[in-house]
Amino acid sequence: MDRQFIFNQLSGQTHVLSRLALDILELIKHEKIVDDDGVWSQLVDLYENFDPSDEDMRQHVLGMLVSLDELGLIEPSRSL
């Protein structure tokens, strides 16, 4: 899987993220997805090899969401 660097201007830290993590951030940013199920369903649509019933992969993705949030890469929505 591709890995890319992302710089967080707020923390001054640079992070190395997988393509999947970057896609998750892009979906949240551009698709205005606000819940775990929305992220999962969009990823299933984006990645043809994702099986919607694969609970292990779904849990992996949800864990990535938590990690991205803990790194400060997910900002709270201003509309909530």
User: Tens digits of per-residue pLDDT, 12-59?
Assistant: 899 999 999 999 999 988 877 778 899 999 999 999 899 999 999 999
SS3 44: helix
Cα–Cα distance for residue pair 11/71, rounded to 1 Å? 9
pLDDT of the residue at 24: 93
* Nearest by Cα to 69 from 32, 23, 21: 21
